[in-house]
Amino acid sequence: MSQFLRPLAIFSSSWSRSCITRTSKQSRSLVKPLLWGATVSIFAAAYAVQNTAIHLDAEPSLPDSEFEIDPATSIAFPKTLRIPSKFSLPQFSLVGVGVRTVSFLGIKVYSVGFYADLANPNLSIPMTATPDEKIEHIVRNTACAIRIVPTRGTSYSHLRDGFMRALTARMQLAHTRATITPAEEPAAQSSLRILKSLFPNTSMSKGKPFDIVLLAPSRGPSHPRTLVLKDMGSVENDWVAEEFVLAYFEGDGISPPLKKAVTERMQTFGK
> What's the domain count of the chain?
2
Q: Is residue 113 part of a domain?
A: yes
Q: Is residue 212 part of a domain?
A: yes
What pLDDT was estimated at residue 163?
A: 96
Residue that finishes a domain, picked among 9, 25, 60: 60
Note whether 1 and 89 are same-domain residues: no
Note whether 225 and 190 are same-domain residues: yes
What pLDDT was estimated at residue 219?
A: 67
Note whether 121 and 55 are same-domain residues: no
| b/e map 232-254, b = 16+ CB within 10 Å | eeebbbbbbbbbbbbbbbeeebb
Note whether 52 and 68 are same-domain residues: no
CATH of the domain at 162: 3.50.70.10
Note whether 37 and 121 are same-domain residues: no
d(CA 150, CA 188): 28
| b/e map 124-159, b = 16+ CB within 10 Å | ebeeeeebeebbbbbbebbbbbbbbbbbeebebeeb
Note whether 91 and 139 are same-domain residues: yes
Domain that includes residue 153, residue range: 64-266
Note whether 21 and 132 are same-domain residues: no
What pLDDT was estimated at residue 42?
A: 35
- Please, which residues have CB within 8 angstroms of residue 116's CB and are 6 or more apart in sequence? 92, 93, 95, 138, 139, 142, 143, 144, 145
Q: Is residue 271 part of a domain?
A: no
pLDDT tens digits in sequence order for the chain, 271 residues long: 444 334 434 334 443 444 434 444 444 444 444 333 444 343 333 333 333 222 222 333 445 579 999 999 999 999 999 998 887 899 999 999 999 998 777 899 999 999 999 999 888 888 899 999 999 999 999 999 999 999 998 899 999 999 999 999 999 999 999 999 999 999 999 999 999 999 999 999 999 999 999 999 986 667 899 999 999 999 999 999 999 999 999 999 999 999 999 999 999 888 7
Note whether 200 and 146 are same-domain residues: yes
- Could you tell me the pTM of the whole model? 0.75
Note whether 33 and 144 are same-domain residues: no
